[in-house]
Structures are given as structure tokens and as C-alpha cells.
Amino acid sequence: MTTALEGLRVLELGSGAAAGIAGMVLAENGADVVKIEPPQGDRDRGRPGFAVWHRGKKSAVLDLADASDRDRFFELARVADGVIEAFRPSTAVRLGVDYESLHRLNDQLVYAAITGFGESGQWRDIPGYEQIVAAKSGRMTTYDGVRPGPVFTPVPIASYGAGMLAAVGLMAGIWVRPRLGQGQRVHTSLLHALSVYDMTSGHGNRTNMPPEPGKVYGIMRVPFMTAPTKDGRFIQMCSRQAHHYRRWLSELGLEGLLDDPELPNAPDLWPSEERLADVIKSIRNGMEQRTAEEWVETFSARDIGGDPFLAPQEFLDHPQCTENGRRQEVVDPEMGPTVQIGPLGLYSNTPSVVGPPAPRLGEHTGEVLAGWPSTTSASPSASGNDPASGLPLADITILDVGYFYACPFAATLLAEAGARVIKVEPPTGDPGRRNWTTDYVKSQVGKESIVLDLKTPEGLEILYRLVDRADVFLHNFRPGTPERLGIDAETVMARNPGLLYVYASCFGSQGPWAHKAGFHSSPNAIAGAGVVESGDQNPPRNRTYGDPTAALATAAAIMAGVLACRSTGRGQKLETTMLTATAYAVAEWGIQHSGPEAHAVDFGQFGYHAYQRLYETANGWLVLDVHRDRERQALGEVLGVELPEQPSPELATQLTRAFSADSAEAWESRLLAAGVPAAQADRGDFLHNMLNEIHMRESGVAVEAEQDGLGSYWRAAPTMQFSSAPTPLAPTLPLGWATMEILGELGIDHEEITRLHDAGVTKPIGHGLPT
């Protein structure tokens, strides 16, 4: 069997998890990825995460500041298909390895640039390190911690997201290259990636709207509570859906709350803080009557949303990892035998391969320099042609039959790259519309909504006719449901053998929890994010990024899948899981090995150590994210002391005293000017900053748009920018708005459309935004 990206050659420039993850996705799907490293090596060498992010790649040492080495790099770039570049905005130009320079050498090159803060705006040149981006975006103030003030946020969700988006963008550029006749430039940033994780205010601003008068919100504190159990472990509840909530309270013996006339809007809205606190106390007391294992068994049997907290390394031994083919043994040259998270997606015809371990520094320099230039680029040059323009995926049609967020938002990300996404919904709409009201517009941007009752023969037949014209079929129904509906892989692919059939699951199709309900918080608990985020010896915490993390991974896996279908001429099945996506995000802590463990956040949630830590100043909080010797030396020069190479608790105490002499704002200005990665960490919260901070608007992370029912408002911008065409800012239109148009495309006349509407098979336009 071949792999999806076999024959694709990619050069990776720069340090950090974002570039590493982008290259890893390409490498495990067959691309020949060469990591170009300076003579001193990547700054992340020695971290456990390096062994995961760079597996399957080659390492070549080239000093791009040296003219002769730069010429050697140019020879590689002449025959490469893609470049992943993660320098600060001015560095690539200074070194002469920017897109314009390389395009002149090879007009077939697809160049994916990753920045920290975007390519314009007042923060453009600030070091784009994970913790600096987290601080400036307000992410550190979003979560409750063990003490007042911002908390350190270890899981690199911004880098993970930017890596996935860069992989999507690069593969989209490869997809469209035969049509355009040349490559192009793609850009994303850690800030753009963070906008994906804002599931509400990014497109609806619900968080700025007060609840009903006299009411308080209880959504995260009740149906998504982190509940202690009899054996001292914790369960992450995920019982927002009405039937899950009722079953849960019934199992706790609290059925009376369900019919309490004072609680008609529970679990979302409550009459007072006092009443909410009383209910929380009763529920927590009930949860403490059984062990975590007993609750998980009960919840699985009764279809109640609730999951145990596991450490990242524990997940690798869990049946939902092992039985779904996501546990990978790799013998690393530095760490010895390891167990790592396995492939991002499972493909039926072009399986991913986790190849050799992460390379030693410069291990393949001679091989790459001798071998690559002897062959020619995969696509013919189009020099002299007048290339076409347009978004890369304009000739791809995706049928989105999924519910809620993780699955549908994967299609939204591909719609940003130009794909036509037809959202197939039941007459009542995707349940996410009812749960999230106007906020649901975020996962519907750029889609065409058609209403089909798939439980009717006519509705199913219309879907089949759409399948005949589609390239991708996407759903997230639990095993058994597609078969009952007649949309299982065998049935659908019999209609269209060239189709990529995607099951974007939570738990996977195998294992004891394959039929279990999966929710937004499930992977954060099971794959280990809640443990990593909590701090040493603290109870685990709910960190709500499971859905966006899965959407990013599924979008990347789909791109590899469609490229494989085109190259092989055959369709295939693809399965992704929310658990695997989150395990990729926490891979730094998830690798099993016998060497030093990854840094853990301390008990106070200040940080890892003195050089990567939050400090309380005379006014506000400051975060340091120092990685390099020159950054440490610059910090010492500002403070007027010589700082040791190795951090220590005593050094943290010394720095705490030093930073208490001035405000966080003043320290940020002084340190950044000296080249020290530092940022004020408590200047606004995430939900406000991502839309309202001046830089977000100057850099294009936030854009002004129009939406029926909302008027003019600020929303998260498209996450990827393509040089071939801008992404239009399409609004989300009502349930079923495209029904008549799509039926007309299928040749169904007006009289038959009217009959289908009257029979309830379809639904005409005019039913407004989600209700």
C-alpha cells in the first residue's frame, strides 16, 4: 500500500512545536520531510516532545547565515514541493529564504509560513512563543486556578493549532497546484489558531450578553462539573443534553430537581447563586458515594456523559488507544524504547506510517545534499503561463452530516480554503443550533444548509444523489447509527467509489467505549490535558478545547485523504478521534520512556521553573518564556546580574523580588526592547482580547462582518491566508436556506420540491437563525 503523500518533498525551517507538528503530520502520511537545523541544533532538542514532533523526518545541518550553506539550501528548494517556515516575520527575508526569493527558484513551491502574532500590527515582532502568545491573548486569565491571578497554561494549543493549519494550508496548495500551474504562499499564526478555540464569542458574543434578569449561568459548573469520587479520583461530567442530565440526576437520586418549578431552565440557568451552590453540593456528595470505575461503568451502561481523568501516559495504555491503533512503539536514538501516540487518522487504503525516530542532529545532511538535487520537482514548471487564481479547494465538495462542533467545524476550516460544504440537517436542525443559539454561526460559516429527513426514503435518496457528486462525506455518529440511517461506508461508497468517507469520532470505532457518548470535555479528561493543566498535586481541571482540537486534526487528516484519493484514483475510509487529537496536543507529556520527564507546572500554577514562569509585580502579572542562552543573558543585563544557566527555586525567589520593583507593563516594555521574551499576563481575558484588542484587528485575527440577527459585529477571521485569493467573509444563513437551490441542481422541479416540503422531507427557507 502507498501512503497519502508519497513522493512529496518538504523542507522545515525554524523551531517550536508548531512547525514540528505540521511536518509530523506530513511525514507520517508519507512525505519526505527534511528538518533544516543550525549547527547548534533546534532549541527543542532534549525535550521529550522533540521525539514525537520530529519522528519520521530527516535532519540536515545548514547555517543559512553562511552564503555557501544558503546556496546548498537553494539547491534543495529548487526541487522541493513545500516549505514549512516558522521564523519571526523579518527573519526569512533577512536570510533570503522568504517565499518571493524561493518562488523565483521554484515556482511550484508551496510555502507555509507560521508566525506568532501575525504579519502586521503592533505585536508583529514580539517573540511568538507559546506562553507569550497565551499571555497577550488573555488565555492565562481565562481559567480558574488555585490562587488569584492568571495561571500558567502548559498545553501548547496555539502551537498545535498553527501546526495543523499550516499542514492543511500546505496540502491545499499542493492540491490546487496542477490547476493554478504554480505553488503559492500560505500563512497562519499562533494567534489565528487560538481563535479556533473560542467557540462562542468569536461569532456571537453570547458571553457579553447577561443572562435573564435574576438568573445565573450554571452550564460549566453543573453539567460540565469536575466531580470527586469515593476513591479520590475525579470524573469530568459532560451531561448538558437534556436526556443525559435527567439520567444523571436519576442515578444520583436527585430526580426531584428535574421537576422543581423553581428550576425550569436548569442546568443552564439558575435562580440564584445560593440555589446553584446548594445543588452543586448535593451532586458532589452523590458522586462521592461511588468510585471512579463504578461511575464510568454506570455511565457507559446508561448512556450518561461522564469520563475519568487520566494522565497522558495512562491514555496510551487505555483500550480506546490500543484497540483503535493509536499506540506506537518507537526506539529513539536519544531516549531508547518509547511509546508514543500513533497516527492522526486511520486510512483504509493509504495507511499512515510512523516511520523512523526523530533524527540525530545532522544525521542526514550528506544523504539529503547528495540525493535531493539529483531529481526534479514533482510538478512541471509553469513559468511564462498566466496562472489561474482562486481558493485552493474550490473544486472539492464536502457533505457535512455531522452534529455539534468538532466534526462540523473541520468542514468549516476547509470551507475557508474554498471547499463547497453542503451541510445536511434534519428538519429540527443540527442539535448544536438549539444548544448554542446564535453562537452556532461560527461552525456554519461558508456552508450551504439543506434540510433532509434521512428517515424517509425520499430524503435518503436525495442524499444519495448528493453523494454521487461529492468528494468527501463527513459524519460523527456513533457505530450503528449510520447503518440504521443507510449512510454507512459500504452503502455510501457503493454509490461513489471515489469518495473519502470520514468518521470523525470521539472514541473510535473499536474498544469498550466505541458506543459511548463523547463530548467536548471528554478528550481533555481521558487523553490527559486536565491533569497536565492542573499543576503538581492539584485536582485535575476541565480545559475546554476538545472540540476545536479535534476539528483541526480532522481537517488535516481530510486533506491528506483527498490527496491520496486523487493520486490512487480510489476512494477510501478515514477515521479520526477526538482522543487522538488531544493526545497530539499533550504529546510532550504523553510519551512513555525511561529518561527525564517533561516539565510539570508547579503547585501554585506559576510555571515550570524560574525562566518559564509567572511573576507578580508591583502592579499586575508578568510571564517569562526564556528558551535561549542569549535571552537569558539579556535578562541578566536588564537586571544587572549574571544569571545561571540552570534555573532553581532560589532563582525564582530572586526574580520575584526583582520584578516586584515595577509594574508588569513597564517590565514588558523594558524586557522586550532588550530581546527577552516577556509579557504582561493579566491585561484582559481571552474572550475580550481575541476580538477587541487593537492588535487583533490590525493583524487580521479579528474582522468586522455582517450577520442577520447580529448586525455588524467583530468575529474571528479566517485562520489561513492564501496568496492565490482572499477568503470571503461569508455569513451563516438560516437552517435550510440552500434547500431549494440544491434540489434544483439535482433536476428536481418546483412541483416536486413543493411536495417534498409538504411531506416534511425537506424544509423551505425562512425559518430564521438557530432557535
Question: At 121, phi and psi to the nearest 5?
Answer: 95, 165
Q: Would you say the C-alpha torsion 48, 49, 54, 59 has a positive or negative sign?
A: negative
Q: Judging by DSSP bridges, how do beta strands 612-616 and 621-625 pair with one another?
A: antiparallel
* Residue 251: C-alpha distances to residues 74, 255, 261, 397 (Å): 66, 8, 21, 45
Q: What is the largest CA-CA distance in the chain?
A: 83
Residues 531 and 557: their CA atoms lie apart, in Å, by 27
Nearest residue to 661 via CA among 615, 610, 624: 615
The residues, any chain, with a CB within 8 Å of residue 138's CB and separated by 6 or more, are 683, 684, 685, 686, 687, 688, 689, 690, 693
Cβ partners under 8 Å of residue 589, min gap 6: 48, 311, 312, 313, 528, 532, 597, 598, 600
Beta-sheet strand order (sheet of 500-505)? 345-347, 572-577, 500-505, 472-475, 397-400, 420-425, 447-451
Q: Alpha carbon 654 to chain centroid distance?
A: 37
Helix (H, G, I), strand (E, B) or coil at 71: helix
C-alpha cell at 364: 542526514
**Cα 35 from Cα 59, distance rounded (Å):** 5
Asked if residue 753 lies in contact with residue 718, where contact means CB atoms within 8 angstroms, the answer is: no
DSSP calls for 651-698:
HHHHHHHHHTTSBHHHHHHHHHHTT--EEES-SS-HHHHHHHSHHHHH
Residue pair 513/320 in contact (Cβ under 8 Å)? The answer is yes
Cα separation of 415 and 398, whole Å?
9
* Alpha carbons 162 and 625: distance in angstroms, whole number: 19
Among 191, 194, 195, 316, residue whose Cα is nearest residue 587: 316
* Terminal-residue alpha carbon distance, the chain: 48
Q: Which of 741, 740, 745 is nearest to 762 (CA)?
A: 740
**Options 32, 547, 602, 625, the catalytic residue:** 547
Known catalytic membership, residue 547: yes
Cell of 623: 510571564
Q: Which amino acid is at 340?
A: Q
Rounded to 5°, angle at Cα 563 from 559 and 569: 140
Cα separation of 416 and 486, whole Å? 30
Count of residues for the chain? Answer: 771
What residues have CB less than 8 Å from 634, skipping those under 6 apart? 674, 675, 676
CA distance linking residue 771 with residue 407, whole number of Å: 21
Quote the cell numbers at residue 360: 540525530
Active site residues: 547
